[in-house]
Amino acid sequence: MVSTENLTTYLLEVILSHLALSCALLLATLASIRWFIRDSYRVDGLGRKHVLITGCDSGFGNLLARQLDGKGVNVIAACLTDKGATHLAAAASPRLQTLLLDVTDSGSIGRAVEFVSREVGDRGLWGLVNNAGRSVPIGPTDWMQIEDFTKVLDVNLLGVIDVTLQFLPLLKKAQGRVVNVASILGRLSLIGGGYCPSKWGVEAFSDSLRRDMKQFGVKVSIIEPGFFKTGVTQLDLIEADLRRLWAHLSQDVKDSYGAKYFDDYLKSQDFSMGILCSPDLSKVTRCMQHALTARFPRIRYSAGWDAKFVWIPLSYLPSFVSDFVVNALLPLPKDERKVK
């Protein structure tokens, strides 16, 4: 028979365990409610603030510029081409201003700083969105030359750093925001070339910048989009550059991959992009807007179902698991060289 003392002890343990579980659930619920409410607070006076966005010819930058303009924000949209600037100006209100900016040219950045300084005056620059970027050349690593890497790194990483450094005095004056566009490929390398290293670099630069600028009231956020239909994922441009890379390979390297590899690689690109790429760019620009307008912006924003449910979770798993998944998306080389 169970003694009265043992039964009392058992019941007390059951009650305490249920009480602990209830307290944990209550705390989790309260934390979620607090997070939701805190997430909804917005800064005041958006109509008096200026935001500079790079890479506004198309894609995320173009859409963000039009959306912020529609909300009454003073947008300065930096475009690479006259055509891009003209089309954007025609689609926006007279309040939106455009300027030409090549993020790989320090002189061009300096001229943009002078222009923005005149516009913002003593208020300073509230927001800088480093959105300009390029993807090609991408492909197997041994198809590349060093200049293939630098073409991408100059825009995606060094351009982000140079633009940020030159605009920091204006951002510190306004105690504003820096929003850097990285990628899920800054967490998990799926392709060779300079794109993944550049986005990993953006992650590292943003983290150190955030810590350094915290004491000055400048907040830094990172956007990590999955795959979206923009110029970065434009298949005809990617395919044309892959053909260029393949054409310049030595016959020995081509033979090491096999005659069918190139066509199979193109098919895998078409298949992957077709399944993964979302046409809804607003999933990314909503994150950008929150980072610029929320009183308590997040440090990182993931955008897209593939980012949230596939790539970011996969990046936390052991490397052999992520390697298996990535390798399953690409064809295997079939070495056709004769073994001597």
pLDDT along the chain (340 residues), means of 10: 66 74 75 70 92 97 98 97 97 97 98 98 97 95 96 98 98 98 95 96 98 98 96 90 95 93 91 85 97 97 94 95 92 74
Strands 50-53 and 127-130: parallel
Q: Is residue 23 part of a domain?
A: no
Q: Is residue 153 part of a domain?
A: yes
d(CA 308, CA 179) in angstroms, rounded, equals: 19
Residues 6+ apart with CB under 8 A from 52: 76, 78, 112, 116, 125, 127, 128, 129, 167
- The CATH number of whichever domain residue 64 belongs to comes to 3.40.50.720
What are the distances in angstroms from CA 144 to CA 109, 140, 153? Answer: 29, 7, 14
Where would I find the beta strands (DSSP E) of 42-176?
50-53, 74-79, 97-100, 127-130
Burial of 287 (0-12, 13-18, 19+ CB in 10 A): buried
Q: Is residue 24 part of a domain?
A: no
Structural domain count of the chain: 1
Q: Is residue 225 part of a domain?
A: yes
176, two tokens: 């504003």
Q: Give SS3 for 286.
A: helix
pLDDT of residue 92: 97
pLDDT of residue 224: 98
pLDDT of residue 160: 98
Q: Is residue 269 part of a domain?
A: no
Residue with tokens 């798993």: 317
Q: Is residue 339 part of a domain?
A: no
DSSP for 186-222, written as a single string: GTS--S-BSHHHHHHHHHHHHHHHHHHHGGGT-EEEE
Instruction: Note down the domain range covering 306.
Output: 37-229+279-325
pLDDT of residue 306: 93
Residue with tokens 């923009």: 230
pLDDT of residue 340: 45
Residues marked active site are found at: 195
Q: Is residue 268 part of a domain?
A: no
pLDDT of residue 41: 87
Q: Is residue 337 part of a domain?
A: no
pLDDT of residue 21: 76
